[in-house]
Each structure stands twice: as structure tokens, then as C-alpha cells.
Amino acid sequence: MDLAVVWFILIAVLWTGYLVLEGFDFGVAMLLPFVAKDDNGRRVALNTIGPVWDGNEVWLLTAGGATFAAFPEWYATLFSGFYLPLLLILVALIVRAVAIEYRGKIDDASWRRRWDWAIIASAWIPSILWGVAFANIIRGVPIDATSTYTGNFFTLLNPFALLGGVTTLALFLSHGAIFLALKTGGEIRVKAEGLAKRLSLGAVVVAGVWAVWAQVAYSVTWTWAAVGVAAIALAGAWWFSLKGRFGRAFIASAVAIVAAVVLIFGSLYPDVMPSTTDAAFSLTVANASSTHYTLTVMTWVAGFLTPVVLAYQAWTYWVFRRRLSVSDIPAHSEPTFAKA
């Protein structure tokens, strides 16, 4: 297999890891006002993601770095054309990191409340904009013969892309609710279970409409399999949530996100950014890739480091696997891992 194709697949894998893991981080943050009405409850919710949220972001950094190194033309066109939405996402991620670290620095209710709203807002923004971005990449954007994006910000706000944003929002909300139901106890767990049952059903409807639209309008025959797997997995997440089997519901939700990434990248190939101006101007796996030597070096580095990263993350999740409840939250004078 050509190394450019290998790296196209590896970038899809990196995005899969990011969306599955960061998806529940975003979901937990967005659901803070719905599952916790007091500070201790919010600290419980934040501590479920405290040991892992920054590690989950590594997948995004690696995906961006891999795209820059393996497909520099793709990276350049994507980041110049999608500059404003990607900047908003970056600012949101920075604000979220600062808010999680700073909310517990001063023992003052209004101080923590302001940072809580920063955490919530900085989760909503990327949850919507990632879907808008990926939907536009599938649909195609105006690109000229020099690989330059010729549209503007409002070009990206088309109906298909906006529904894509609602889809990722629905998936992350459901994913986060299921994660909270799996990782918490007491009143927070009860609220999370109720939300998981409702939100997982909403995800089935919204994601189903978008996936069928994407498949019919922009995809190829074999990706119907991805649509089918996503539908079964989302229905399974809802069913297992109704039955109170949230471990299985979480696995089903993760499988649905994996299937969505397969649909996205399967729809793209052999393009990496289709042009709506002229198909001849589209960026492809072949014309947007780096040299064979660069891809070879990257492959050796990835082959060595990827198992290390996977082993470390697996160990982290294993160590912090147990449920949390209000009884586990110390007073503010005692530091917590999540600095919540």
C-alpha cells in the first residue's frame, strides 16, 4: 500500500481517538448545569475527566501534526480556508484548560461559578464547529487552481454543514451523559442516567438524518456499511441506556463515533479536500502528500511511539476506573487531581 494512503488512514485513526475520547469530555462539560446544582456536584463531574482530559487532547495535536507533515497542501488549504472556525475552536480549548485549572485556585463561590460557565461555553463551541468543519470537508469547498480557498466564513454555514454541527453536538452530549452515568454515583448518576436515555434517542434521530444525507449526496457505495454500523450502535446505546447497562451503552456510543469517522474519510477518498469550483482542483491523497522519504521517516517514528502512547493512556484509564460521588470530594483546602 502506498505510504500516502497509509497516512490518510492513520490520520483517520487519530481523529477517531480524539472524537471518541474528547467527545465525552465535551459532553461532561456541557452537562454540568444539568447534572450538578452545587459546587460539590460539579467537582464530581469534573473529576471524572480530570485525570484524562488533557491526555485526550494529545490525539488532536497528533492529528494536526500528522496532517501538516504528511499532507502539507491539505493542511495549508484547510487552515487558511477554515481559519475563523478553527481559531474559535483553539480559543475554546485554551479557555477550557485555563478554567479547569483555575476554578479551584480561590475558595470563592462566584469565582468558581464564572470558571464553570467558561468550561461549559468552551465545550459547546467545538462540539458544534467540529461537525461543521467535517461536513464541509465532505461536501467540498471552493478551491481554485492554486489550492486556495476562495469562499468566506458564511460559505461554511450551509444546511448540510449546520446539520453536521448539530450531529456532533448530539453525539457528544449523549456520549458524555453515558460516561457520567458510568463513572458517578448518587444523585449525579441518577440525573446522568435520565439524560442518557433521552439524549441517546435524540442522537439516533439527528445523526441518522445527517448520515443518510451524507451517504446519498456525497459518499460511495461501500460506506453504507458504516452508516449501518452507526445506526445499530446508536440504537444499541439508547437500548442499553434504557436497561441501565451503561458500560455497554458507552461501547456502543464509541462504536457509533468510529463508524462516523469511517463514513467521513471513506466519503473523501481519494480526495482530502474536494473542490466545488472544479473537480480538477480537488486536493487528493496523491497531489497533497509529502515526499516518500518524509512519509517513510514518519512511519518508523509512529510505529515506535504509538504503542507507548496507547499503553500509557490505557494504564491511566485503568488506574482511574472507579466511580466517584460527593463523598469522594475533599474540602477546597485539599488539592484534587482535577484541580476542580
pLDDT digits (tens, 9 = 90+) for 187-220: 999 999 999 999 999 999 999 999 999 999 999 9
Alpha helices in 243-320 (DSSP H): 246-268, 292-319
Convert the pLDDT of each residue in 120-172 to its tens digit: 999 999 999 999 999 999 999 999 999 999 998 899 999 999 999 999 999 99
Inside any domain, residue 36: yes
Nearest to 200 by CA among 248, 263, 162: 248
pTM over 0.75: yes
242-274 confidence digits (pLDDT tens) = 999 999 999 999 999 999 999 999 999 999 999
Rounded Cα distance, 134 and 168, in Å: 10
Beta strands in the chain (DSSP E): 271-273, 283-284
Q: Is residue 301 part of a domain?
A: yes
Please state the φ and ψ torsions of residue 50, each to the nearest 5 degrees.
-55, -45
Residue 302 belongs to what domain range? 3-328
Q: In total, how many domains does the chain have? A: 1
Q: 64, 134 in Cβ contact below 8 A? A: no
What confidence score (pLDDT) does residue 332 get? Answer: 58
**336 domain-assigned:** no
Give the 3-state secondary structure of residue 146. coil
Question: Domain for residue 340, yes or no?
Answer: no
Residue 18 forms part of a structural domain: yes
Rounded Cα–Cα distance for residues 104 and 52 (Å): 18
What is d(CA 173, CA 38) in angstroms, rounded to the nearest whole number?
20
Looking at 85-150, which runs of residues are DSSP E strands?
A: none
**Would residue 158 count as lying in a domain?**
yes
Residue 141, domain member (yes or no): yes
pLDDT tens profile 86-121: 999 999 999 999 999 899 888 888 999 999 999 999
Instruction: Tell me how far apart the alpha carbons of residues 110 and 194 are, in angstroms, rounded to a whole number.
Output: 29
CATH code for position 149: 1.20.1630.10
Asked if residue 333 is part of any domain, the answer here is: no
* Distance in angstroms (rounded) separating the CA atoms of residues 81 and 91: 17
